[in-house]
Amino acid sequence: MTIELNSPLDMHLHLRDGDMLSTVAPLSSESFAGALIMPNLVPPVDTIEALLAYRDRILDATKGDIFKPYMTLFFKPSYDYDFLKSFGDELTAIKLYPAGITTNSEGGVSGFDIETLRPTLEAMSELGLPLCIHGETNGFVMDREKEFVPVYENLAYNFPKLKIIMEHITTKESIDALDKYENLYATITLHHLLITLDDVAGGMLRPHLFCKPIAKRPIDREALQKAALNAHPKVMFGSDSAPHPQHAKESCGCAAGVFTAPIALAALTELFEKHQKLDNMQKFVSDNARSIYGITPPAKKVILVKTPTNVPSSYGSVVPMFAGETLSWNIKEII
Amino acid sequence: MTIELNSPLDMHLHLRDGDMLSTVAPLSSESFAGALIMPNLVPPVDTIEALLAYRDRILDATKGDIFKPYMTLFFKPSYDYDFLKSFGDELTAIKLYPAGITTNSEGGVSGFDIETLRPTLEAMSELGLPLCIHGETNGFVMDREKEFVPVYENLAYNFPKLKIIMEHITTKESIDALDKYENLYATITLHHLLITLDDVAGGMLRPHLFCKPIAKRPIDREALQKAALNAHPKVMFGSDSAPHPQHAKESCGCAAGVFTAPIALAALTELFEKHQKLDNMQKFVSDNARSIYGITPPAKKVILVKTPTNVPSSYGSVVPMFAGETLSWNIKEII
């Protein structure tokens, strides 16, 4: 039994930099035709020089693979029309982080005053540049995303021409918001389709499943699964695959992030097959993103075959999701 | 500034066995006059021989200190009146675990059918033996204790002469239940008075604060603090101090439990002082337990003094709460 995917896309990916980039970039470029690259380096990607140089380092690390890095800029309310226009096609989207909300987000936005954000967001609207948001407040960990939904809605209402992507959503409330505003979209990760807080902290504590936003309740996972498995036209796959060295995960203060890039397509196929929704997978992992972003990824055919496959215990210093376990699908051929 | 405590008691303590017992028992017996010792060894303490032998090992490990181990038996529905009576004064309470709910609880109870439990619970009622319960269902991790409250209430209603101790409670719902049934009591830990899930998983993941039941919401902590700081007559201090070697906490699957025994009295004093409730501390850490259990602990005066004190990074292989941090109180003298 096989399944064929045309130009699968990962619309939310952390590749980091330096040695980590060299380790993890090929694990994405092998199976994906492209990915939206997060800009939260240290310092963040916020100039054209930094963006082009990072793009080149990614292309260098993924040499030999058909892979298009769709680059993003770290949101600042000081960006104006001319600055953003100068990027031309090199800029695909801008990523907004509330200050301090996740890894390397210290320089993010503190407060969502519409008038402060207006100049940049209007320039983005005019240029057709989507705004990707890590939508969490600094409230109680289980409520952060739910509390942020009014911010999404307020932005969507005030900037009706701006495409707003609610990144790595984890709650039923975010799914519900999708249908209230035409210009709200979302990415969903593999891990949030699979786990709840029970998997992180219900038995033993499992640091490799600890991420931000934290996995929520069964009712939330159900809403996410329903949207993804039915290929809701406003949702796209975005792995949020976030590598941290093993020692930073298994320690006294464990960093947030699940590393899924190398196993994402196989695990998604397993999930879609289990729910008899394989026919919808192409839309979730590629077609929806193409329409939402208006992009045409490079041609790349990925053929997966149903065969038990062991997941390595680590890739370099990074432990993937399902480390040491068996997945029922594997990538057979890439054309 | 000093505070004097008379015979402080820890009414929920894990001392384990073997080398771990030798490491941690003196850290409790130094500052407490007695403690209720949990029976979840491997195999569990379920015979008179096992109980007396464990008591002797504890006395051996705490030699030189004024310290009374109040022993408990691992609940089984097969215990009858004669069996329980044969323990005489050596048995203080029986601890009931739902099967598989926490460390070494595999042999616990599956289901709470009143008629199945009736013979043992009636024998306990007649003998005046309190029933201590780890009250969690196997539901979603944040709901487990709340879902268990009806079980507590059902037991309290059906066995009105049985003293039922809701162990290490973490929710507002459990606090509310205290006032609904005369025969419901509770222990509260130090860590649940101090932390919420935000401290465990809101920033970095902190395995040393991972415990069962998991820390809940701010509203729950507030309810626990209110009961403890006001010395609600039905609540007692029980640390649930649970040592695990550092490698079992900082690893791929981290064991549940916070180790607080050596810093419990200092940290509690800090909390009670902060809320200007120092006058209530004697009741919370000793007097309430004496009335509820009808026990008279050995005389032991513990004098704490307000002076900045560093907490060691570990005791043997065990990392305590506040490792490497500074507490504002310390034990000055024990008489």
Q: What is the pLDDT of residues A134-182, one digit of tens each?
A: 999 999 999 999 999 999 999 999 999 999 999 999 999 999 999 999 9
Interatomic CA distance for residues B60 and B158, integer angstroms:
40
Distances (CA, A) of B126 to A14, A113, B84, B119, B291: 64, 67, 10, 11, 18
Residue A87 CA to chain centroid, in angstroms?
22
Q: Kindly tell me the burial class for residue B284, based on how many C-beta atoms sit within 10 Å of its own C-beta (0-12, 13-18, 19 or more).
A: buried
The minimal CB distance from A207 to the residues B197, B207, B319 is found for B207
What's the helix, strand, coil split of chain B in %, to 5? 40, 20, 40
Task: Give the pLDDT score at A29.
Answer: 98
DSSP annotation of B283 reads I
Residues of B in contact with A250 (CB under 8 A): 250-252
User: Whole-model pTM?
Assistant: 0.94
Report percent pLDDT > 90 for chain A: 93
Is residue A200 pLDDT above 90, yes or no? yes
CB contact under 8 A, A198 and B256: no
Task: Give the pLDDT score at B107.
Answer: 84
Interatomic CA distance for residues A194 and A209, integer angstroms:
10
The minimal CB distance from A210 to the residues B197, B205, B250 is found for B205
Dihedral sign, Cα of residue A55, residue A57, residue A58, residue A59: positive
The minimal CB distance from B140 to the residues A141, A218, A256 is found for A218
Residues of A in contact with B319 (CB under 8 A): 252
Q: How far is B205 from chain A (nearest CA, A)?
A: 5
Number of domains into which chain B is organized: 1
Interface of A with B (CB under 8 A): 140-142, 196-198, 200-208, 210, 214, 217-218, 250-256, 319
Interface of B with A (CB under 8 A): 140-142, 196-198, 200-208, 210, 214, 217-218, 250-256, 319
Instruction: Give the SS3 label for residue A236.
Output: strand
Start-to-end CA distance of chain B, whole Å, equals 18
Could you tell me the two tokens for B50?
């096992």
Residue A321 CA to chain centroid, in angstroms?
15
Closest CA to B269 of B334, B313, B327: B327
Tell me which chain B residue has its CA closest to the CA of residue A323.
B252
CB contact under 8 A, B256 and A200: no
Residues of A in contact with B256 (CB under 8 A): 204-205
CB contact under 8 A, B250 and A250: yes
User: Is A104 within 8 Å of A44 (Cβ atoms)?
Assistant: yes
**Per-residue model confidence as pLDDT tens digits over A33-74:** 999 999 999 999 999 999 999 999 999 999 999 999 999 999
Interatomic CA distance for residues B186 and A133, integer angstroms:
44
Q: Pick the residue of A205, A251, A254 with the most B CBs within 10 A to test the interface with B by mutation.
A: A205
Is residue A101 pLDDT above 90, yes or no? no
Active centre residues of A (catalytic): 240
Q: Please state whether A257 falls in left (phi above 0), alpha (psi between -120 and 50) or beta.
A: left
Task: Give the pLDDT score at A250.
Answer: 84
Per-residue pLDDT of chain B (335 residues; tens, 9 = 90+): 999 999 999 999 999 999 999 999 999 999 999 999 999 999 999 999 999 999 999 999 999 999 999 999 999 999 999 999 999 999 999 999 998 888 888 888 888 889 999 999 999 999 999 999 999 999 999 999 999 999 999 999 999 999 999 999 999 999 999 999 999 999 999 999 999 999 999 999 999 999 999 999 999 999 999 999 999 999 999 999 999 999 998 877 789 999 999 999 999 999 999 999 999 999 999 999 999 999 999 999 999 999 999 999 999 999 999 999 999 999 999 99
Residue reference for tokens 């989507």:
A130
CB contact under 8 A, B217 and A140: yes
Annotated catalytic residue: which of B10, B46, B65, B240? B240
Interatomic CA distance for residues B154 and B114, integer angstroms:
8
Interatomic CA distance for residues A212 and A190, integer angstroms:
13
Residues of A in contact with B202 (CB under 8 A): 140-141
Instruction: Give the SS3 label for residue A8.
Output: coil
Residue reference for tokens 């948001």:
A133
Average pLDDT of the segment spanning A304-329: 96
Task: Give the pLDDT score at A104.
Answer: 84
Task: Give the pLDDT score at B4.
Answer: 98
Tell me which chain A residue has its CA closest to the CA of residue B143.
A217
CB contact under 8 A, B200 and A200: no
Q: Which residue segment(s) compose the domain that B252 sits in?
A: 2-334
Interatomic CA distance for residues B5 and A319, integer angstroms:
49
User: How does strand B164-166 pair with strand A235-237?
Assistant: unpaired
Q: Pick the residue of B103, B145, B220, B252 with the most A CBs within 10 A to test the interface with A by mutation.
A: B252
| Count of beta carbons in the 10 Å neighbourhood of residue A117 | 20
SS3 for A75-140 is CCCCCCHHHHHCCHHHEEEEEECECCCCCCCCCCECCCCHHHHHHHHHHHHHHCCCEEECCCCCCC
The minimal CB distance from B142 to the residues A197, A206, A256 is found for A197
Task: Give the pLDDT score at B95.
Answer: 98
CB contact under 8 A, A141 and B201: yes
Q: Kindly tell me the burial class for residue A18, based on how many C-beta atoms sit within 10 Å of its own C-beta (0-12, 13-18, 19 or more).
A: exposed
Interatomic CA distance for residues A6 and A28, integer angstroms:
15
| Count of beta carbons in the 10 Å neighbourhood of residue B47 | 14
Q: Computed over its alpha carbons, how large is the radius of gyration of chain B?
A: 18
Interatomic CA distance for residues B301 and B292, integer angstroms:
21
Q: Residue A237 maps to which CATH number?
A: 3.20.20.140
Instruction: Give the SS3 label for residue B187.
Output: strand
